[in-house]
Amino acid sequence: MSKVTKVIARQVFDSRGFPTIESEVFCGKISSKAICPSGASTGSFEAYEKRDNNKKYLGKSVFKAIYNVNKIISKKILNKDIHNQELIDSILIKLDGTKHKTKLGANSILSVSIAVKKLSAKIKNVPLYKNFYIKKNFNLPYPLMNIINGGVHANNGLRIQEFMIRPDKARTFSEAMSICFSIIQNLKKIIKDRKLSTAVGDEGGFAPMINNNEVALNLIVKSIKKSGFVNGKDVSICLDVAGNELYKKGKYSIHSKDYISIKKSINGYLKLIKKYKIKSIEDPFAENDWNAWSDFLKKSQDLQLVGDDLYVTNLQRLKKGFLNKSSNAILIKPNQIGTVTETLEVIKFAQKIGYQTIISHRSGDSEDTFISELAVGTNSNQIKTGSLCRSERVAKYNQLLRIEQQLLKKNNMAKLK
C-alpha cells in the first residue's frame, strides 16, 4: 500500500493574476500537485471558495484555505491509501461537514483531492486518464472553443458571455485543432480589417468593442466561411449565455439591453438558432428558473441545452433537472462541487440518463491540465477550455494532443449526439 506521508499547500496565482491554492500530496519522495481554478460568473449553489477578505490582496488571498490543508486536512489523510480516492474524499467531506464546504473551503478540499488522484496514477505508472472508471476505448473530446468573449469575461458590453465553435467535422483531435486554428486566424484578420481591437478576454477569445450579439455571430460565420468550412455542418456555433448575469425580476436582457419576458427571450433564441445554425446553448436562463428551461427544451428541438450554473456539478440539482426535463447536457466543473469522487458521481449519473457531459475550465485557470485527463478518462464527448490563446487554455489542448498521440487511434473522437 502506498500511504500519504505529507500534504502541503501554498499560494500561487491564476490566469487573472488572483491568488489561488496549490496543494501537493506526497507518498515518500514522490509527489503530485494540483491548482484550484476559480470562476467569475458563478452559480449561487456552487461549493464555497475560501478567501481571506484582507486588504493586501483585495480580499482574494487564500491563506486560510492553505492553513486548513496544512494544519487540518493533512493530519486526517496521513497514512491513508493513495489509491483509495473515495475513502480520502469521504474523509474530506466529513471533516468539513457543511453542505457547501464552507468550513474548510472547496478550494482547499479540491486541490488535495485532485493531487491525490494524480499521485495515484503516478505511483501506478499509468497515464492519468487511465485512472478513472473507463478502462479501455478512450476517445478524445470535441473542443468547444470560446473565440469571442463577452459578459463578465470582457468589458465590451456583449450580452452573451461566450461565442464558441465546435469542429463537428473533425475525425481526430489534431484535425479539430487545425479547423479551430484556421477559423481563429481568419477571425483575427476580419476583426483587424474592421479596425477593431484583437485583444483577448479572460478565456483567450477576442474581445472587440462590439455590443451586439448578432454582430459577433456574423463575424464568426464569416470566418468559418473564409476558412473553407460550412457553418452548421463542418463547424457548429455554440453559446454560453450565462443567464444568471442577465436576469432581473423574471425578465432577461439577453438579446439587447432591454429586459423582456421569458416568452420573448425564447423567441429571440429560436430566431438566432435558425439564422446562425446554433447547435448548443449553455445557461440560457437563470439558475432557479426551472420552468423557463423546460419550456425552452420543448421548443428548441435538436439543440444541445447545457446546464452550468443550473446544476453546479451537483447530483441533487442534476436529479431535479432530469425530473423537470430542464436540459439534455451538463457542464462539469470540479470546483463547483469540491471533490473528484463527487464529480465522477455526477458524470456517471448524467451519462446514465443520456445527458452529454462537457468538462469545463474556469475563467480563472492555470497551467494545471487535470480537466483534459478527466474528459478522456470519463469518455466525455466535449471539453470547453477557452480559445487557442493564453497558455492556461492552450495547455489543456496541448495535453489532449499528447494523449491523442499515445492512443494511436485513427478516428479518435468521442461520438457527438
188 noted as active-site residue: no
Collapsing DSSP to helix, strand or coil, 205 comes out as coil
Angle between helices 340-352 and 315-324 in degrees, nearest 10? 20
In the range 370-399, which residues lie near ligand 2PG by CB under 6 A? none
Residue 287 touching Mg ion (CB under 5 A): no
Cα–Cα distance for residue pair 403/383, rounded to 1 Å: 14
Residue 83 touching ligand 2PG (CB under 6 A): no
The greatest distance separating any two alpha carbons of the chain, rounded to the nearest whole angstrom, comes to 62
373 noted as active-site residue: no
Cα–Cα distance for residue pair 156/148, rounded to 1 Å: 11
Shortest approach of Mg ion to residue 254 CB, angstroms? 14
Per CB under 6 A, the list member of 39, 143, 284, 307 interacting with ligand 2PG is 39
Other CB atoms within 10 Å distance of the CB of residue 288: 15
Q: What nine digits make up the cell of 61?
A: 488571498
Collapsing DSSP to helix, strand or coil, 24 comes out as strand
Residue 314 touching ligand 2PG (CB under 6 A): no
Per CB under 5 A, the list member of 49, 89, 202, 240 interacting with Mg ion is 240
Residue 46 touching ligand 2PG (CB under 6 A): no
Residue 41 touching ligand 2PG (CB under 6 A): yes
Q: What is the pairing mode between strands 236-240 and 329-332?
A: unpaired
Report the residue number, 111 or 360, with the smaller CB distance to ligand 2PG.
360
Residue 89 touching Mg ion (CB under 5 A): no
Residue 201 touching ligand 2PG (CB under 6 A): no
Residue 61 touching ligand 2PG (CB under 6 A): no
Shortest approach of ligand 2PG to residue 107 CB, angstroms? 13
Which of Mg ion, ligand 2PG, none does residue 32 bind to, with CB < 5 to 8 Å depending on kind? Answer: none
Which of Mg ion, ligand 2PG, none does residue 392 bind to, with CB < 5 to 8 Å depending on kind? Answer: none
Residue whose C-beta lies closest to Mg ion: 308
Distance spanning both ends of the chain, measured CA to CA: 41
Q: Which residues, other chains included, contact 179 with Cβ-Cβ below 8 Å and sequence gap of 6+? A: 167, 169, 170, 227, 229, 234, 235
Cα–Cα distance for residue pair 349/315, rounded to 1 Å: 8
Binding site for ligand 2PG (CB under 6 A): 39-42, 162, 203, 240, 242, 308, 331, 360-363
Catalytic residues: 203, 333
